[in-house]
A and B are shown apart, each in its own frame.
Chain A
């Protein structure tokens, strides 16, 4: 298995609170991604990073921010959590574009 660790694995938080999810990789891959998975929607891209301090928005970026200060860590922050952000969040990595991507085990986030 690719060395990807997501933390926490489960979290329940209240509406309006900030939340940060962490993705840590040991593969030294350049590209990292955050997706969310919701019933009926499949996985949708939130943000991605193509290097340290290089990030860009995906399809569903509203309400989310990211940071990547080290190659191995990619943080996803919900500035003020809403119930619509209740989802399962997956981190993915790849060495470059057009090659195999690897996914973490996911973080189940519930906003009450």
Chain B
């Protein structure tokens, strides 16, 4: 069974610092990996989708990398802002039915 781990569970950084969020998984046979953001009491917002054949994806200040051989993905958020405070979840699509296996998330606080 695929295990997805996100470390650290919580992170606090001052505004302007770059954020590095880690996601590790045990089975490299994945279809894609998606990073989500979740604000308290809200749903999940899709940030980036990396197909299994891709190494990275970028959107604005966000960059996500994927290394299947080592079972790792990293989400970089450049020049963090207080509005980036949220929980970040990584999710692996493990079959062709679009089913996801989620990590427990990293809770990020960006202090002004």
A residues whose Cβ falls under 8 Å from a Cβ of B: 31, 33, 35, 40-45, 48, 50, 56, 58, 90, 92, 94, 96-106
**Sorted from nearest, which 5 A-B pairs have the closest CB atoms?**
A103-B44, A42-B102, A97-B98, A97-B96, A42-B104
Q: Count CB-based A-B contacts (< 8 Å).
A: 69
B residues whose Cβ falls under 8 Å from a Cβ of A: 4, 31-32, 34, 36, 41-46, 49, 51, 89, 91, 93, 95-100, 102-105
With A48-B97, A98-B93, A98-B98 in contact, is A41–B104 under 8 Å at CB? yes
Please state if A43 and B102 are interface contacts (CB–CB under 8 Å). yes
Please state if B104 and A45 are interface contacts (CB–CB under 8 Å). no
> In the assembled complex, which residues on chain A have CB atoms less than 8 Å from the CB atom of B51?
98
A sample of 18 cross-chain residue pairs with beta-carbon separation below 8 angstroms, ordered by A number, consists of: A42-B89, A42-B103, A43-B89, A43-B102, A45-B100, A48-B99, A56-B97, A90-B44, A97-B93, A97-B95, A98-B51, A98-B96, A98-B98, A100-B34, A105-B42, A105-B43, A106-B42, A106-B43
Report which of A33, A90, A105 forms a contact with B98, defined as CB distance below 8 A. A33
Report which of A31, A42, A90, A97 forms a contact with B105, defined as CB distance below 8 A. A42
Please state if A104 and B43 are interface contacts (CB–CB under 8 Å). yes
Please state if A40 and B104 are interface contacts (CB–CB under 8 Å). yes
Kindly state the separation between the CA atoms of A25 and B36 in the bound complex, as whole angstroms. Answer: 20
Kindly state the separation between the CA atoms of A82 and B89 in the bound complex, as whole angstroms. Answer: 28
> In the assembled complex, which residues on chain B have CB atoms less than 8 Å from the CB atom of A43?
44, 89, 91, 100, 102
